[in-house]
Amino acid sequence: MEPKKSEAIILRTRDLGESDLIVTFFSSLYGNLKGLARGARRSSKRFVNSLNILSLVDLEFRERRSSELVWLDSCELIEGFPGIRSDYKLLSRASYMVEMTEILFPSNVPSPEMFQLLRSALGSISNRRDTEETLIMFQARAMKIGGFGINSSKCSLCGRPYKGKGRALFHPPSGSIVCLACEKESVLTPGMEPDTVHVLEQLQSSDLSLSTTLRFNQEILRELKGVLMAHIEHRLGKSLRSAKYLR
Ligand SMILES: [Zn+2]
């Protein structure tokens, strides 16, 4: 089979036998794949220091006719994000982002946009740039890219358009905002000030690069956290194992 090349982020590795490694990676062009790196645990020139979890790499691989597992031919390190590995809190955030990526984009579903998002979010976290904001941005963008954007244009229960005035509530079952006439604010239907709804819209709609620092005040951050957690839990289930380490 023809060799394929792509940038990729290493999500997980597992030992196989005495010298091989099974590598799960999210590639820019082909999505989430698993590959066999033969001899990677012996000194192998084809994989020098590149098969570490969360590393950004250039991968060359070939598909196999009878197996889901691809052959990894070579791997070259682009960026290792060393800052993440030295800090448990940063590692927890990165693990959470990886898990969300895998749930939203399971095997063989490519999304170059999602790849770029994960890549820049890991970069920001590794440089300890506004890690809380980065996580919020990642959650909002990832859900949108995965097809689960929050609808903030109107109340999903009565249909009244939201004109950016007054508090709006987030309603997880509809993935949309609802008005105060239709629902009461609670942990299950968290509320947002107009500024928070506005920031959420920005996060979902623009091609916002994570490298430009977007700062929110504490109140917006707190509200967005509650809304996105409720949204993600409802859509992706409680299966996000790493979520508990964020609290
Ligand atoms: Zn309503």
Q: Residue range 157-182: average pLDDT?
A: 96
Question: Residue type at 96?
Answer: Y
Does residue 164 sit within a domain? no
The rounded mean pLDDT for the chain is 90
- Burial of residue 44 (number of CB atoms within 10 Å: 0-12, 13-18, 19+): middle
116 and 70 inside one domain: no
146: domain CATH number is: 1.20.1440
C-alpha of residue 64 to centroid of ligand 1, in Å:
53
* CB contact set of 243 (below 8 Å; sequence gap of 6+): 96, 229, 232, 233
Q: Is the pLDDT of residue 211 over 50?
A: no
96 and 70 inside one domain: no
Tell if the pTM clears 0.85, that is, is over it: yes
90 and 62 inside one domain: no
Q: What is the pLDDT of residues 93-134, one digit of tens each?
A: 999 999 999 999 998 899 999 999 999 999 999 988 778 888
Q: What is the pLDDT of residue 237?
A: 80
56: domain CATH number is: 2.40.50.140
C-alpha of residue 166 to centroid of ligand 1, in Å:
13
Q: Is the pLDDT of residue 208 over 70?
A: no
50 and 114 inside one domain: no
223 and 120 inside one domain: yes
Last residue of a domain, one of 43, 62, 79: 79
Q: Using CA atoms, how far apart are residues 170 and 189, in angstroms rounded to an integer?
A: 5
Does residue 172 sit within a domain? no
Last residue of a domain, one of 48, 79, 110: 79
51 and 102 inside one domain: no
C-alpha of residue 231 to centroid of ligand 1, in Å:
19
The vertex-10 CA angle with 132 and 245, nearest 5°, equals 35
92 and 130 inside one domain: yes
52 and 27 inside one domain: yes
15 and 137 inside one domain: no
210 and 133 inside one domain: yes
Q: What is the pLDDT of residues 28-73, one digit of tens each?
A: 999 999 999 999 888 777 887 889 999 999 999 999 888 889 999 9
Domain count, the chain: 2
Helix (H, G, I), strand (E, B) or coil at 220: helix
C-alpha of residue 176 to centroid of ligand 1, in Å:
11
Last residue of a domain, one of 79, 101, 119: 79
234 and 138 inside one domain: yes
C-alpha of residue 220 to centroid of ligand 1, in Å:
22
C-alpha of residue 37 to centroid of ligand 1, in Å:
55
**Pairing verdict, β 191-192 and 56-64:** unpaired
Question: What whole-number percentage of the chain has pLDDT above 90?
Answer: 73
Does residue 169 sit within a domain? no
Does residue 176 sit within a domain? no
Range of the domain at 118: 85-150+183-246
